[in-house]
Amino acid sequence: MTAPQLNADAGDRLPATSASTPNAENPVLDAAPLADLRLYDQSWFDRGRPGWFILLWWLVQAIAFPLSPHPFSGIRVWLLRRFGAQIGKGVLIRPTARFTYPWKVSIGDYSWIGDDVVLYSLDQIEIGQHCVISQKTYLCTGSHDISDPSFKLKTAPIAIGNGAWVASDCFVAPGVKIGANAVIGARSSVFSNIPAQQVCLGTPCRPRYPRQMN
């Protein structure tokens, strides 16, 4: 039997690809959409403030935040408090941090919020004392129901315990709680609760070993 015949025979034994079998090499593109975005409705969603107040906040954030000098965190903290954020003493906020609805955000004493951090606060975001949320991290309290044809909006709060460090470029999903003194390694994606005082890494993020202090 020749080599080409062996290859042909082996190929004949492979199962045929059906419509229900995922095919990454040649995915179907022109199927009927499962969602109908014309049905989308978030009229039930409470943003927590009237429209004019939200627009005013977006203007203040777009103009005042990036124009405030890097070391003048106190100005940014003062503005956030004026718009309803609960912020403790000694908190550092970098100029390019973004808060969707500050009145749904609580930050404990001496915590740091880095550059390009996004607090997508459709729901409550609670950050404890002495926490570090490093640059480009995204705290996301909103998602959608992928089984609903109307692509229904879903929200859930995020809570980060005292002394936790969420390192650079992480994603924290709706409903997640990160335990006190935990460390989330750079570029991790956190989709479930994290136990206290554990060093955690990966996508999905998982505990690796206890955090030890010298």
pLDDT tens, 155-189?
A: 999 999 999 999 999 999 999 999 999 999 999 99
DSSP states of 8-40 as a string? HHHHHTSPPPPTTS--SSS---SSPPS--GGG-
Answer CATH for 47-209 from 1.10.600.10, 2.160.10.10, 2.20.140.10, 3.40.50.300: 2.160.10.10
Residue 17 has pLDDT above 70, yes or no: no
- CA neighbor of 102 nearest in space, from 143, 71, 65, 130: 65
Per-domain residue ranges for the chain?
47-209
Residue 1 has pLDDT above 60, yes or no: no
Residue 10 has pLDDT above 50, yes or no: no
DSSP states of 71-98 as a string? T-HHHHHHHHHHTT-EE-TT-EE-TT-E
Q: What is the mean pLDDT of residues 19-44?
A: 87
**Given the DSSP bridges, would you call strands 206-210 and 198-201 parallel, antiparallel or unpaired?**
antiparallel
Interval 58-116: pLDDT, tens: 999 999 999 999 999 999 999 999 999 999 999 999 999 999 999 999 999 999 999 99
Q: How confident is the model at residue 20 (pLDDT cuts 50, 70, 90)?
A: low
- Backbone φ and ψ for 14, nearest 5 degrees, come out as -70, 145
Output the pLDDT for position 208: 97
Output the pLDDT for position 25: 87
Token look-up 């956190």 returns 190
